[in-house]
Amino acid sequence: MLSKEQIAQRIAKEVKNGQYINLGIGIPTLVANYIPDDLEIVLQSENGLLGIGPFPKEENIDPDLINAGKQTITMVKGSALFSSAESFAMIRGGHVHLTILGAMEVSENGDIANWKIPGKMVKGMGGAMDLVASAENIIVAMQHVSRDGSSKLLPECTLPITGIRCVKKIVTDLAVLEIDPSGGFILKERAPGVSVEEIRDKTAGKLIIEGEIPEMTF
Partner 1 sequence: MINKTVNDAREAVSDIPSGAFLMMGGFGLSGIPENCITALLEKPINELTIVSNNAGVDDFGIGLLLRKKMVKKMISSYVGENAEFERQLLSGELEVDLIPQGTLAERVRAGGAGIPAFFTPAGVGTEVAEGKEVREFDGKKYLLESWLRADFSLVKAWKGDTAGNLIFKGTARNFNPMMAPAGKICIAEVEELVPAGELDPNQIHTPGIYVQRIFQGKDYEKRIEQRTISK
Q: Which positions are catalytic?
A: 46
x/- binding map, residues 38-77, to partner 1, per CB under 8 A?
-------xxxxx----xxxxx--xxxxxxx-xxxxx----
Alpha-carbon span 106 to 160, nearest angstrom: 11
Q: CB of 5: closest distance to partner 1 in angstroms?
A: 15
- Position among 32, 128, 142, 187 found at the interface with partner 1 (CB under 8 A): 128
Which one-letter amino acid corresponds to residue 22?
N
Residue placing its CB nearer to partner 1 in the complex, 11 or 135: 135
Instruction: Work out whether 168 is an interface residue with partner 1 (CB under 8 A).
Output: no
Question: What residues numbered 141-160 form the site for partner 1, per CB under 8 A?
Answer: 160
Residue 104: exposed, middle, or buried by beta-carbon count in 10 A (0-12, 13-18, 19+)? Answer: buried
x/- binding map, residues 4-43, to partner 1, per CB under 8 A?
----------------------------------------
Q: What is the 3-state secondary structure (H, E, C) of 109-122?
A: CCCEECCCECCCEC
CA dihedral (74, 80, 82, 88) positive or negative: negative
Residue placing its CB nearer to partner 1 in the complex, 84 or 195: 84
Asked if 99 and 131 count as a contact pair (C-beta separation under 8 A), the reply is yes
Residue placing its CB nearer to partner 1 in the complex, 134 or 143: 134
Alpha-carbon span 2 to 171, nearest angstrom: 10
- DSSP-assigned beta bridge partners for residue 169: 139, 178
Residue placing its CB nearer to partner 1 in the complex, 16 or 95: 95
